[in-house]
Structure 1
Amino acid sequence: MDLTLPPEVRAPSAMKLSELIGSLSYALDITEGQPPGHCVRVCWIGMHIGRAAGLPEEQLWELYYTLLLKDLGCSSNAARICELYLTDDLRFKRDFKTVGDSLPQVLSFVLSHTGLKAGLAERFRSVMTILRDGPAIAQDLIATRCQRGAEIARLLRFPTGVSCGIYSLDEHFDGKGKPDRLAGEAIPVYARIALLAQVIDVFHTAAGRDQALCEARGRAGSWFDPRLVRAFEEVAAEPRFWQVLASQEVDRAVFALEPAGREVALDDDYLDDIATAFGQVVDAKSPYTSGHSARVALYTDMIAESLGLSSQRRRWLKRGALLHDVGKLGVSNSVLDKAGTLDRDEWAAVRQHAAYTETILGRIGAFSELAAIAGAHHERLDGTGYPRGLKEDAIPIETRIITTADIFDAITAERPYRGAIPLEQALGMMEKTVGSALDPACFAALKSAIARTPFPL
């Protein structure tokens, strides 16, 4: 067994905070059903608006991270959306971003997104509940998202200005937004810019620059601060602004936009906090995954310690365990929380999450090795796993450790289709797969670690 230190375990200073957060923002895009790069494009748009509006450099730094992280709380209301609307939360969230204040538009959205695969009686009950309780439902969904996003921003060590900007994203200039019905300049300026930039990107991506300009102008004074709309009109007059926005170079351009002047030490402790925070974003998506990433990270560390891995290597691997399911943010809760048997398309959607994980983490240059390890956690020694069907020799020990930890938690935790399985029964089930799915040494290390630790942990 090769236990040499991977080349990627290196000084965290080789990474930039903008690259790390910008790359992880792609996980937030898929949670919202948006085309990849949505938050990065919003950052490009919003930073140009902020500069045109005359924000000082210190505020521009806070605006930068508000824009990249505006959707931090987006996973926290996904299960509730599926429950209330009997629908695919990803499609619901994607399409809802195009809905304005018009009552006919809102009613059309509800009817076209509620219970389309449900029986007639069930769909009727759901539609009637939404029509009766619509304002309270909207308030609850948006407040949940806003509160959770602000909490995670604080876990990520961002200042109050950033967390407040994320919290107030859905406030409207005329005071008819949510969650607190703030109006005018009582709304944090970062939130005012973020909402404007979000709508511009959604409509530009779907229908082009003319439609984006039309939406911005049409909602000035109602959704948007008119002064900021005028600032956007100045920006929109520059051809290069649109060229970069529509190009493959927008990531690089946004990373270069990070305002100078605030030194952030991206040390090991901060990397641990970032991985933990994004693990919480993942786990918030479903009531059945609450705490999953943290538990898998704990079991991963216990197995790695039993196998004799160094403390530095264990710390590195634990981050991969915390982020191993980040790709599940791109799977609908209508699939994740389904109590019955998954059909072929649903199963294909579930299998896709591992590839999403590798793609998202692979965007971070310094995480390339960890991306492959985390993205392979559903591979099996006999080649029956996914996404690549790798066999024993092609599966690194780090992946085998995370796989063992992941399976153990999946069996011992409650699932949509069954209750939690007791410890001894779970270990017996796992033992039957040793050599075919599970690595023998990793399973032995898990049993050894559990024997030394009271369970549940």
Structure 2
Amino acid sequence: MEYELNIREVIYALSEALDLVGIDDTRHGKRVAFMAAACAKEAGFDDDFIDEIISIGMLHDCGVSKTETHRSLVTQLEWKDEQFHCERGAILLGKVKLFARFSQPIYYHHTHWDILEHLPVDARVKQMANLIYLADRIDALRVQLEGSDLERSDEIERIILEHKGNFFSPELVDAFVAAARRNSFWFYLADEPLEEQLLEWVGRGEILHLPFTEIREVAQMFADIVDAKSPFTFEHSFGVAALSNFLARGFGLDEHTRETVEIGALLHDLGKLRVDDDILNKKGRLNHGEKMLMNRHGFDSNMILRRIHGFREIARIASLHHEMLDGKGYPYSLEKEEIPLEARIVTVADIFQALVQTRPYREAMAPDAAFAILQEMADAGKIDKAVVKMIGANLDQAYRLAKYKERAEAA
């Protein structure tokens, strides 16, 4: 079936997830998008170019999953490993029909202008890539220098001018200097005016009729980003989605509901992008503060996905995967009757996949051992007995589906 979606709304919502990676430095992608658009307007680029650069700006760090990577990128003007996230981002975008045209600008968005201008690349791609690089480094300098934006604006301008012609296109640097002389350029970087400007842009977006396959490509891209945050979650979201789809089919749910379950499962851990790498990879028991941060990821997934009209049910399913039927789950502590079957399916699939996957505190379990834990939880009234029963009746297949991504990569 087809879905009616404003793609700008999708891009904005997913940029919320990408911006969580910075933890203490959120909205980086949105600031880059705004500054790149302001410079493009100053340079006289057409409206289509400006619309495109806003989208690219918000998605430009899709190759960044780890907090430490983000920290290195924003605290150094140049970083020796910066090209890796450009390459990864380009690969991820290239797999998504809706975003494939952004792949080349993302690939080159840390390439110095004195190299980029001589490469056999389309001129428009060069301009987009270098404009994102310019805005990205301006925002990095905001992190590195002390004071308010207006207080550090002269120093930022001085450093950017030092790299005119080598890091950055002279034309684009001139556009930045002209745009940045207006105080409003810097004022708009504060959270509220920034959001207002970008949401106006979102509101002008065209509603598209898209097949499920294209929606799934976007969800798979972000599942890849989330799963790459830790080596212990490499194939987690894909395995949960494959197993959830199988279970939903087993319960006779209709096609639209199965699609909703699959997308919800792919995106269920989106909020984990806010969690520091050290917490995700910790071998010992989490302390109270760390546990609270971890326990809010379902809530954050919900808040992100609810921004997309038509995704409310997906958001709800994604956010409930740690709710328990005894009312002792999180983040909402819902009672049994408040948890729909779709969410119960994702919960069981999530637990089973995690059990058969190596985690920092234990090795992967065999299917029988993992199922025994599911059965204990079902008997204790925590998870749905019927869903667990279906896992048990199809244990070998459930295991293969849970290890879906890992097996696909090995094939």
Settle same-fold status: TM greater than 0.5: yes
> What CA distance in whole angstroms lies between the structure 2 residues aligned with 1:52 and 1:303?
54
Instruction: Tell me the residue number matched to 2:404.
Output: none
Instruction: Tell me the residue number matched to 1:169.
Output: 109
CA-CA distance at 1:385 after TM superposition? 1.5
> What CA distance in whole angstroms lies between the structure 2 residues aligned with 1:159 and 1:274?
8
**Superposition pairs for residues 90-105 of structure 1, below 5 Å?**
90=68, 93-94=70-71, 96-100=73-77
The correspondence for 1:44, drawn from 34, 57, 63, is 34
1:419 matched to 2:363? The reply is yes
The correspondence for 1:337, drawn from 273, 276, 281, is 281
The correspondence for 2:343, drawn from 396, 399, 404, is 399
Instruction: Tell me the residue number matched to 2:296.
Output: 352
> What CA distance in whole angstroms lies between the structure 2 residues aligned with 1:147 and 1:365?
31
- From the superposition, tell whether residues 270 and 148 of structure 1 become closer, same or farther in structure 2 (CA, over 3 Å): same
CA-CA distance at 1:203 after TM superposition? 5.2
State whether residues 323 and 331 of structure 2, in contact with CA within 8 Å, keep that contact through their aligned partners in structure 1. Answer: yes
Amino acid at match of 1:55: F
CA-CA distance at 1:433 after TM superposition? 0.5
- From the superposition, tell whether residues 378 and 455 of structure 1 become closer, same or farther in structure 2 (CA, over 3 Å): closer
CA-CA distance at 1:420 after TM superposition? 1.0
Query: SS of the residue aligned with 1:356?
Result: helix
1:146 matched to 2:68? The reply is no
CA-CA distance at 1:159 after TM superposition? 6.4
Instruction: Tell me the residue number matched to 1:197.
Output: 135
Q: Which moved more, 1:59-68 or 1:438-447?
A: 59-68
In the alignment, structure 1 segments of 5+ residues that lack a partner are: 1-9, 79-88, 102-137, 176-181
Q: TM-score, normalised by structure 2?
A: 0.85
CA-CA distance at 1:235 after TM superposition? 2.4
> What CA distance in whole angstroms lies between the structure 2 residues aligned with 1:215 and 1:243?
15
The correspondence for 2:237, drawn from 293, 296, 300, is 293
CA-CA distance at 1:362 after TM superposition? 2.1
Partner deviation per Cα, 1:288-321 (whole Å, 9 max, x = no partner): 1111111100111111111111011101121010
Amino acid at match of 1:32: G
State whether residues 305 and 312 of structure 2, in contact with CA within 8 Å, keep that contact through their aligned partners in structure 1. Answer: yes
Instruction: Tell me the residue number matched to 1:215.
Output: 156
The correspondence for 1:231, drawn from 142, 164, 175, is 175
Instruction: Tell me the residue number matched to 1:440.
Output: 385
> What CA distance in whole angstroms lies between the structure 1 residues aligned with 2:283 and 2:203?
48
Instruction: Tell me the residue number matched to 1:128.
Output: none
> What CA distance in whole angstroms lies between the structure 2 residues aligned with 1:145 and 1:93?
10
Query: SS of the residue aligned with 1:74?
Result: coil
- From the superposition, tell whether residues 251 and 203 of structure 1 become closer, same or farther in structure 2 (CA, over 3 Å): same
- From the superposition, tell whether residues 316 and 33 of structure 1 become closer, same or farther in structure 2 (CA, over 3 Å): same
- Once the two structures are aligned, what percentage of the paired residues are identical? 30
> What CA distance in whole angstroms lies between the structure 1 residues aligned with 2:386 and 2:205?
49
1:305 matched to 2:252? The reply is no
> What CA distance in whole angstroms lies between the structure 2 residues aligned with 1:204 and 1:352?
29
The count of residues paired between Structure 1 and Structure 2 equals 389
The correspondence for 1:188, drawn from 118, 126, 131, is 126
The correspondence for 1:157, drawn from 82, 92, 97, is 97
Q: TM-score, normalised by structure 1?
A: 0.77
> What CA distance in whole angstroms lies between the structure 2 residues aligned with 1:159 and 1:332?
28
- From the superposition, tell whether residues 142 and 199 of structure 1 become closer, same or farther in structure 2 (CA, over 3 Å): closer
Q: Which moved more, 1:150-159 or 1:66-75?
A: 150-159
Instruction: Tell me the residue number matched to 1:23.
Output: 13
**Superposition pairs for residues 442-457 of structure 1, below 5 Å?**
442-450=387-395, 453=397, 455-457=399-401
Query: SS of the residue aligned with 1:266?
Result: strand
> What CA distance in whole angstroms lies between the structure 2 residues aligned with 1:56 and 1:145?
29
Amino acid at match of 1:42: V
CA-CA distance at 1:273 after TM superposition? 0.9
**Superposition pairs for residues 243-322 of structure 1, below 5 Å?**
243-246=187-190, 248=192, 250-257=194-201, 265-322=209-266
CA-CA distance at 1:445 after TM superposition? 2.7
Amino acid at match of 1:149: G
- From the superposition, tell whether residues 147 and 383 of structure 1 become closer, same or farther in structure 2 (CA, over 3 Å): same
CA-CA distance at 1:208 after TM superposition? 1.6
CA-CA distance at 1:253 after TM superposition? 2.8
State whether residues 26 and 38 of structure 1, in contact with CA within 8 Å, keep that contact through their aligned partners in structure 2. Answer: no
> What CA distance in whole angstroms lies between the structure 2 residues aligned with 1:324 and 1:70?
22
